[in-house]
Amino acid sequence: MDTAQLVEESFENVMLRKDEFILEFYDDLFKMAPAVEPMFRNTTKEKQGQKLYNSLVILVENIRNPEAIQEILEPLGQDHVGYGAQLAHYPVVGECLINTISKLNGDQWSSDHEQAWLNTYQTVVDLMT
């Protein structure tokens, strides 16, 4: 299976359990990086989680279309400068994201899925920063 297939396949389990994904992700993030929690004071986990989730859906839908991904993620990255996001924040967000996706995949998760998401997340970071 190639990266795109591995990402698509494992994301299906996220789409089936969206609410759990959102809550798990932010619980994990605020535990791992308490310093970022105040950055989200103008929103709620549910609202912000829905936006993050929507951007992941678009990412996965366009996983075979790098130009479309670039057009979306470059401006999103610019907006993040205004939100106070720094380069140093991206690794912990990636770790929590992949950790949460892996949990929702249970025993269907493999080291190939892990590697596919690590590669995909690196592409996202490269475009956003």
Give least dist CB 79 to ligand HEM, A.
6
Amino acid at 109: W
Q: What angle do CA 97, 33, 20 make, to 5 degrees?
A: 40
Q: Which stretch binds ligand HEM (CB under 6 A): 15-23, 38-46, 60-68, 99-107?
A: 38-46
Considering only 2, 4, 46, 83, the residue that binds ligand HEM (CB under 6 A) is 83
Report the SS3 class of residue 7.
Answer: helix
Tokens (6 digits) for 12: 């299906």
Q: Which stretch binds ligand HEM (CB under 6 A): 9-17, 46-54, 60-68, 98-106?
A: 46-54
The answer to the question of residue 113 lying near ligand HEM (CB under 6 A) is no
Selection from 113, 122, 103 nearest residue 59 by Cα: 122
Give least dist CB 46 to ligand HEM, A.
12
